[in-house]
Amino acid sequence: MTTLTKDAIKKSFMKLLNAKPINKITVKEIVEDCGINRNSFYYHFDDIPALIEEILNEQADALVQTSSREVNIYESILKGMEFAMQNKTAMLHLYNSVNKDVFERYLNRVANYTVTECFNIYFSEENLYEEDKQAIIMYYKSLLVGFVIEWLSSGMKYDLRNQVRRQCELFEGTTETAVKRCRRKEN
């Protein structure tokens, strides 16, 4: 029963967050929406920021657990952005809230995982220095985080999927070039 209650709280919160900013959402509204009492909310969560953190951590964990080996970088990036794309208004509200740091940790975690997985799939056979590999991963993770932050900062005025697709087309082959530059020399 506690799992059902906890899930109901999360579902109600996301519904409300997709409708209005965080600072306009109260615990009272959440519990009324899901039909529980206030004590039940506080049994599961200390406050709304703790609820936000759990939801975002669960989404990041779900991405890691359900990872399928995507066939290209574009599909991999879209998989990493899926939750944000499905909850655009909620993500904008999180980004513009005092809980922005929780959102940024989530975004960095998802981007790091997505880029690392992609890199490991495409370049698993390469003999690279670990420092160089991590530098390439950090570069692409930063680009992915930057795409999402720019999109949110602009008020989501353009189609992020199309923008990412076009970026991938324009810069196709650049990762391979970077990998060539940091291959270990064979003895």
Q: What amino acid is encoded at 178 in this protein?
A: A
What does the pLDDT read at residue 187? Answer: 46
**Residue count (the chain):** 187
How far apart CA 112 and CA 7 sit, in angstroms, is: 27
What does the pLDDT read at residue 180? Answer: 86
Report the chain's terminal Cα–Cα distance, integer Å: 62
Taking the chain (187 residues) in runs of 10, the rounded mean pLDDT of each run is 87 95 95 94 94 87 65 69 83 88 86 82 81 90 87 87 85 85 69
Helix and strand counts by DSSP (H, E) for the chain: 10, 0
Token pair for 152 = 């949110």
Please enumerate in sequence order all residues whose Cβ is within 8 A of that of 44, keeping only pairs 6 or more positions apart, or say none: 2, 5, 6, 9
Model confidence, pTM: 0.76
Radius of gyration of the chain (CA): 19
